[in-house]
Each structure stands twice: as structure tokens, then as C-alpha cells.
Amino acid sequence: MDIVKQIESGKTSIGIEFGSTRIKAVMIGEDYSPIASGTHDWQNRLENGVWTYKDEDIKLGLQDAYKSLAENVKAQYGVEIKTVSAIGISAMMHGYLAFDGNDKFLAEFRTWRNTMTGEAAKALTEAFGFNIPQRWSIAHLYQAILNGEKHVGDIKFFTTLAGYVHMLLTGEKVLGIGDASGMFPIDSEKKEYDKDMLAKFSTLVADKGFGWKIEDILPKIIPAGECAGKLTKQGAKLLDPTGTLQAGITLCPPEGDAGTGMVATNSIAPRTGNVSAGTSIFAMAVLERKLSKVHEEIDIVTTPCGDPVAMVHCNNCTTDLDAWVNMFDSSLRAFGVELPKSEIYAKLYDSALSAETDCGGLVSYNYFSGEHVTGFTEGRPMLIRTPEAKFNVNTLMRSLIYSCMATLKIGMDILLGEEKVELDKLLAHGGLFKAPVVGQRFLASALNVPVAVMESAGEGGAWGIALLAAFTARENKAQGLADFLDEQVFSKFASSVMQPDKTDSEGFAKYMESFKAGLAAQKAAVEAL
């Protein structure tokens, strides 16, 4: 009854996050625990060599995820959602959505997954003295300029997916600083776009004669905790076509999935970090000091508060693993055996614990798309084994799980080894860690860092953006985000910490030797197939 009263009085908050394969909506109560959720599955498309989602995919996905949430609330509590204290929108960072003066698309949505901006990324990295990865929004913009794309001169605004959805709901062209840091470099002291780099970009394009300046077409940065707009009547109708949801609800600054992952794992303070593992995998480490030099394998982004964070991002994680699990599922069904997918995952994950720690001659490559950490613009999923390899389910599963974190290991070796960044522990969340123990144990041993998984790990970034929405709606406006998370939220949640296992660490190191050596075969496959 208490939860019913919270819903009826509008004291809940909602977070909606657009992931690579799933849009998830989460409602949290006054104690910040999830009380209902909804989902919508979707997939990016490779069209004309570009990974993209259609505009109708975005809008219909938003509606369906919210509808799923509303139906879940109705089924559990017997009430409808009419209003809430705040709403937050989050999505995959980076990418490119460009608009004209009428807020119409000028080009297809180019997602973070594209690796077609190598020329621009290299040129900007050299000009800025700051690593600009291929997936960053500014790299996509500059590549479009280098390509001579006609639409560039008509740009009035460009943003990320979260920024676009937020604009649909509020009419505001804004971003949280964490998501903005994946568009253009941030000055963490001033909490704004880096003015020196803005000037350098303007110099690079001065001869093009565009009618815009870069600072005028970037989204305005709104600090965490401040109101970033109100749900308009049009926005309410888009989100809930039934007309039940009322306009006027506060929205927090839209954030990227990296920022919501940090919030969902309470890792926004120095010496903390998190690993998010789903379709892609990335690790975030909040820095105590600047890195000694520029590393192409490492991004510098920010927390939702604007503090600098080193980010190792890999395009590929669980897609290949999921494909193998689906194959096992279909094989079972062919013999008349139907099991819940969660049980199949759990059994297969557990089987990996019995395999040889170095996978006994099996090496998996989960490269569905390019991987900048290892220098690939395209990928080919591969399984390689030596003639004497022990080819069984146990070893296959261990190899598939190892492959999810192998490329991340290469980047983290630079951060933890060469740069001597120290982390007290990493907090892990995302699909790879829904099954207990296995992913957590392997990651701790792979990186040689204690890995914690909270009981809320499965909720991921949708819960994180719901917390940011609740933070915006908080009564104590003087309370900072770190204190809010420590005192109001995470004091109530338990976590389990797993230390690195020496035997697993040694086995993973041997696996990595084979993985690195076999990259030549991956390269040949990309060229030949």
C-alpha cells in the first residue's frame, strides 16, 4: 500500500535508457529501490555501411518501453502512472545526430559502433593533443566535413541519442556533462567544453565558410541535479499516447550510459571504477591525476559531476557469447527440451568453472564490429583451436567469456600498468554479471583488481538515470551527488567482492598470449571474408 501511495502521489522517479539491444524503463520509489520496470528489444542495422537506428525505431521503442513499464505498474499495484517527481533519459554515448533549423534529420543516425572516422579522429587527436576516438561525435562531424558531405553547412544542432530523446520530450537542446564529454573534450575545472580546443577546431574548418561556430551547435551543458526542462504536452503524448501521463514533469540532464553506469555502481569518486558489460564493454576509472601522455586506447571523459575519468571502451562484448547460447537453446528445443533462457545461461556459465584456466588451446574472437583498441575497422567472429585442444562445452564457454574481456584487458594494462592508476576495486554491472560468480571471478582475475557486484547490478544504467532523476527532485538541494549516493542510496544495498584468483590469473595471461598472436588470423579473416 505504501508503494501504491507513492505512485498515486507522484513521489516516484523514472529512468529510461537506450542500450544497444534493449530499451529499459525503471521506476524507483522513495527509498530509491526499483519497484517496476519495462523493456523493449531492438537492434541496430547496417545500412550502406553505417550502423544506425531509424527515427521510428527510436520513437516506437521509447513508447513501447514506457508502455511495458506502465503495464507492469498496473499489474503489480493496480494503479496507473499519472505523474512522477522526475524523469531521466540515458542512452549509448557518442555517435552523431545532426539537425537543421527545423529540428529535422540531416543525415542518418551514426552510432558509436561505426569505425569510419579514422582520418578525422587522427587529425583531431594531433590538433588537440588529446585523444579523440572514432566514435566521438566531433570525429563524426569532422569526418563528414572531410568527406564533403553537403548537409554539414545546414547544421544548426547536433547531439547524442540521449540528447535527441530529451529534446523530443522537452524541446530543450541540452546534455549532462558526462554525455557531453563523449561529444567534445571538457575542461573539468570549469565544467564546460574546452575553449582552447573549440578554438583549434574553428581554425581547422575556417576555410569552409560554414554559417555556424562549433560552440553554437553543441548542446548546452546542464549540471547534475539541476532541472533540464519540463515534459511538454507533445512530449507526454509521445511517451504515453494514451494521454494518462501528465505534462509538466521535471527532467534531469540527459546522460550517457557511461555516466549512468558510474551512478549505478556508486563509482564517481577518485580510486573507484566500474565495468559495464553488455553488447559493448567499457571500464571507467576516476582519476586522481592526469595521465602522463595521450593514449589512443584510452578516452578521457567525465563523471556526471564533471570530474575526469579514464575510459577503456571496446565495441564488442556479449554478442558472440549470446549467439552461442542461442545455438545451444535451439539445439535443446530440437530435442523437445525447453528451458528458461536464464537457466541455460546459468548452467553454461557454471560449466566454464570446470575448464582449463587457459582454455586448453581454444581462442575466441567476439569481433562483430571493428575494435579500435586492437586496430580493427571491421570484425569477424571466430573460434580457433589447435588440433590437440580440448574441445568441449566447458572449455568453449570459458573461452567465450574470456573473449568478452580480452580486448578490455589490453587497454587496462596500459592504464593500470604503464600509467600506474590505482583502484581500490571495480564495481561490475550489466548482462555479463547477471549470472552469479563466473563473470565477476574471471574479470577480477583478468585485471588483477578486486571486483564487486551489487545486488542491484542487473538494473544497470536505467536505474542509474532514475537515480539522477531522483537527485534532481531531491529536497536538500545543497547535497552533492556523491553524498546523495553514499548516504541516501547505497547504504541500503549489499555487494559481494571477489578477489583475483592466482590460478585463474595465470591461465588468463596464457590465454591472452594466444589471443594477441591470433589477431593476425582475425586480420586475415577480415581481408578474405
505-512: average pLDDT:
98
pLDDT at residue 455 greater than cutoff 80: no
Q: Contact 98/160 with Cβ under 8 angstroms?
A: no
pLDDT (tens digit, 9 = 90+) per residue, 473-496? 998 999 999 999 999 998 887 788
User: 276 and 382: one domain?
Assistant: no
pLDDT (tens digit, 9 = 90+) per residue, 62-87? 999 999 999 999 999 999 999 999 99
pLDDT (tens digit, 9 = 90+) per residue, 182-211? 999 999 999 999 999 999 999 999 999 999
Tell me whether residue 393 is in a domain. yes
Pairing of strands 34-41, 45-47: unpaired
Amino acid identity of residue 247, one-letter, is A
CA distance 421 to 416: 5
The domain in which residue 393 lies consists of 319-366+375-401+502-528
User: 341 and 481: one domain?
Assistant: no
Out of 63-77, 235-249, 307-321, which region has the weakest mean confidence (pLDDT)?
307-321
Tell me whether residue 20 is in a domain. no
Q: Contact 281/323 with Cβ under 8 angstroms?
A: no
Q: Is 235 exposed, middle or buried (0-12, 13-18, 19+ CB in 10 A)?
A: buried
CA distance 19 to 219: 21
Q: Contact 66/26 with Cβ under 8 angstroms?
A: no
User: What's the CATH number where 467 sits?
Assistant: 3.30.420.40
Total structural domains in the chain? 2
Q: Contact 276/201 with Cβ under 8 angstroms?
A: no
Could you tell me the pLDDT band of residue 279, with boundaries at 50, 70 and 90? Answer: confident
Q: Which residue has the cell 564517481?
A: 268
The alpha carbon of residue 446 and the mean position of all alpha carbons in its chain are separated, in whole angstroms, by 21
User: 425 and 492: one domain?
Assistant: yes
H-only helix segments in 94-232: 118-128, 137-146, 161-170, 177-180, 195-204, 214-217
pLDDT at residue 93 greater than cutoff 80: yes
Phi then psi for residue 92, to 5 deg, are: -55, 135
Query: For residue 429, what is the enclosing H or E element?
Result: strand 425-429
Q: Percent of the chain having pLDDT more than 70? A: 99
pLDDT (tens digit, 9 = 90+) per residue, 152-189? 999 999 999 999 999 999 999 999 999 999 999 999 99
Farthest-apart Cα atoms in the chain, separation: 67
User: 392 and 286: one domain?
Assistant: no
Tell me whether residue 475 is in a domain. yes
pLDDT (tens digit, 9 = 90+) per residue, 408-439? 999 999 999 999 999 888 998 888 888 889 99
Tell me whether residue 452 is in a domain. yes
Grid cell digits, residue 111: 552510432
pLDDT at residue 458 greater than cutoff 70: no
CA distance 162 to 145: 24
Tell me whether residue 43 is in a domain. no
Tell me whether residue 86 is in a domain. no
User: 347 and 275: one domain?
Assistant: no
Q: Among the ranges 111-115, 130-134, 260-264, which has the highest mean pLDDT value? A: 130-134
Burial 74-108 (b: 16+ CB within 10 A, else e): eeebeeebebbbbbbbbbbbbbbbbbeeeeeebbb
Side-by-side strand order, sheet with 451-454 = 299-302, 308-314, 281-286, 272-277, 425-429, 451-454, 495-498
Tell me whether residue 159 is in a domain. no
User: 307 and 430: one domain?
Assistant: yes
Tell me whether residue 522 is in a domain. yes
User: 508 and 451: one domain?
Assistant: no
User: 416 and 494: one domain?
Assistant: yes
According to the model, what pLDDT value does residue 294 have?
A: 93
User: 329 and 451: one domain?
Assistant: no
User: 295 and 328: one domain?
Assistant: no
CA distance 262 to 286: 9
Q: Contact 319/312 with Cβ under 8 angstroms?
A: no
pLDDT at residue 95 greater than cutoff 90: yes
pLDDT (tens digit, 9 = 90+) per residue, 319-348? 999 999 999 999 999 999 999 999 999 999
pLDDT at residue 459 greater than cutoff 70: no
User: 283 and 357: one domain?
Assistant: no
Mean pLDDT of the chain: 95
pLDDT at residue 456 greater than cutoff 70: no
User: 396 and 272: one domain?
Assistant: no
Amino acid identity of residue 378, one-letter, is E
